[in-house]
Structure 1
Amino acid sequence: MRSCGPSLIKYVLFAFNVLFAISGLGILIAGAVVLADVNEFNHFVEGRVLAPPIVLIVTGLIIFLIASLGCFGAIKESPTLLITFAVLLAVIFIVELAVGIAASVFKKDLEGMVKNSLQESIKRSNSEDTMAWDNIQQKLMCCGVDSPADWRTLSANKTLPGSCCQPQYIDSTVGHCLESPALGKDKYFQVGCVGKLKDRIEKNAIILIGVGIGIAFIQILGIVLACYLANSIRQERAK
């Protein structure tokens, strides 16, 4: 029994840490995908929007290190390493919980923040703003903040950019719609960008929340398992 107990503990904890390492890889990939997607429109969003995926990427890397510590602790049958493993899991869990709470609070102000950023950008209309607007309007198939009319009321030149044109109506020689009224519904995107950008950010937030919840359950299991196994090793050695 004395030899069987620790052996079983090694196998159980090793299997858990393989699963934990895979989950770390999953959370890292999810964070990287979301960061790449949101970063594409970073001209219009604050750093707070980019923070959660960055935290997940860092967490994924840390999870790999913690999983290695768990495997090492099981191999060495060290209660101290196993308890350290459990404490590190708890710390990561608290960090993820704090990020989740911060993201929930920030979500309430998301639309207002995005709308204000878009409006200020149209008013400036410098070369950097123009490039950013061309990118977002072409990628999200939208025009202006709430509608194409925003370019008439907010921009310096009071002219709609060519990126507001639907692709099939763009004349390649001039890069703009031809033979269409200024705000023509037949050839220009009519949906504003604020709603589409907000939806894009919230869609990514759902991905992060889903991944975070899954990781949280695994972490809680790891904390309980590590504490239980550390106690089992102590009892086995005390016999």
Structure 2
Amino acid sequence: MAVSRGCLCCVKYLMFVFNLIFWLGGCGLFGVGVWLSFTQSQFSSLPLSFPSLSAANLLLVAGGVTMVTGFLGCLGALKEQRCLLMTFFVILLLLFLTEVTLILILSIYHKELDEKAKDDLIKGMKDYNKNTDLKNSWDNMQKIFKCCGVSNHTDWHNSTGTGQLPSSCCRPGTDPCHRWEEPCYEKAKNFLLSNITSVLVFGVCLGIVQILALAFSMLMYCQILRAEKYMD
């Protein structure tokens, strides 16, 4: 019985440590999501399918769920309650499977998702002169990224039906307009990719911690069940 109790204590504190790391990882993801949201606030009226905006929202949701799950795991380890441990295991397993599914979808259908995002942006261009918030978002994006249009400047001609480009497409101090040549979608996507690499590495490490937390939670559950049967 003493050996079994010693194993339970060892697993308990190991699980607590891993869940504490897991919780801190969730805080990190949530923090990056908040940072991305603030950096995108100047063009927040663009469609949510826009890569940087969708990434910010995804990180906020993933970080929030990870924080709650990590807290539940820490609580389950300290209280040694089978109900909490099983709830933690099920939620964490669903979270892990969801993450794997999302990664597979993004890997397989990234071209289709890009086209969907571009179509949404081009459709939104039609309301450029009608929606002030959308107009400000487009102007801010084109000024910040020094770009014009979704794929090229002709997107404006096709969407608005006019021969004029927005002033934000023009380089400062040029008259007549000397437009930016690079497309906004690629510039924004490259900005996201340049900042997301470290997040992906962090995500892989967090995934390993998740697998270990799943293993330790089930091991602790079995140890508690064995101890309860021994007491009976």
TM-score, with length taken from structure 2: 0.75
In structure 1, C-alpha distance between the alignment counterparts of 2:16 and 2:79, rounded to whole Å: 12
What residue number does 2:165 align with?
Answer: 160
- Sort the Cα spacing of 1:55 and 1:194 in 2 relative to 1 into closer, same or farther, 3 A: closer
5 Å matches for 1:135-214?
A: 135-148=140-153, 150-151=155-156, 155-167=160-172, 169=173, 177-178=174-175, 180=176, 182=177, 184=178, 188-202=179-193, 209-214=200-205
In structure 2, C-alpha distance between the alignment counterparts of 1:154 and 1:73, rounded to whole Å: 56
The answer on 1:68 being equivalent to 2:71 is: yes
In structure 1, C-alpha distance between the alignment counterparts of 2:48 and 2:61, rounded to whole Å: 20
In structure 2, C-alpha distance between the alignment counterparts of 1:29 and 1:141, rounded to whole Å: 27
Equivalent position to 1:45, from 28, 47, 69: 47
**Aligned-pair distance for 1:39?**
5.9
What residue number does 2:97 align with?
Answer: 94
In structure 1, C-alpha distance between the alignment counterparts of 2:122 and 2:64, rounded to whole Å: 38
- Sort the Cα spacing of 1:109 and 1:202 in 2 relative to 1 into closer, same or farther, 3 A: farther
Instruction: For structure 1, list consecutive stretches of 5 or more residues without a partner in the other structure.
Output: 170-176
Count of residues paired in the alignment = 225
In terms of Rg, which structure is larger?
1
The code of the aligned residue for 2:84 comes to L
**Aligned-pair distance for 1:159?**
1.9
Q: What CA deviation, in whole Å up to 9, does each residue of 1:10-39 have, x standing for no partner?
A: 322221221121111112223333344456
The answer on 1:34 being equivalent to 2:25 is: no
The answer on 1:107 being equivalent to 2:110 is: yes
**Aligned-pair distance for 1:158?**
1.6
**Aligned-pair distance for 1:149?**
5.1
Alignment check: 8 A CA contact 1:100 1:209 kept: no
Secondary structure of 1:142 counterpart: coil
Report the RMSD for the aligned CA atoms in angstroms.
3.3
Equivalent position to 2:222, from 196, 216, 231: 231
In structure 1, C-alpha distance between the alignment counterparts of 2:65 and 2:114, rounded to whole Å: 33
**Aligned-pair distance for 1:44?**
4.0
- Sort the Cα spacing of 1:64 and 1:164 in 2 relative to 1 into closer, same or farther, 3 A: closer
Percent of pairs with identical residues: 27
Instruction: For structure 2, list consecutive stretches of 5 or more residues without a partner in the other structure.
Output: none
- Sort the Cα spacing of 1:80 and 1:47 in 2 relative to 1 into closer, same or farther, 3 A: same
**Aligned-pair distance for 1:136?**
1.5
Secondary structure of 1:24 counterpart: helix
Alignment check: 8 A CA contact 1:73 1:82 kept: yes
Secondary structure of 1:109 counterpart: helix
Q: What CA deviation, in whole Å up to 9, does each residue of 1:30-65 have, x standing for no partner?
A: 333334445654544344855554344233333333
TM-score, with length taken from structure 1: 0.74
User: Which stretch shows the higher mean deviation, 75-84 or 14-23?
Assistant: 75-84
The code of the aligned residue for 1:82 comes to L
Q: What CA deviation, in whole Å up to 9, does each residue of 1:114-160 have, x standing for no partner?
A: 43344444455414253333111101101234444554565444223
- Sort the Cα spacing of 1:9 and 1:46 in 2 relative to 1 into closer, same or farther, 3 A: closer
In structure 1, C-alpha distance between the alignment counterparts of 2:170 and 2:63, rounded to whole Å: 41
The answer on 1:81 being equivalent to 2:84 is: yes
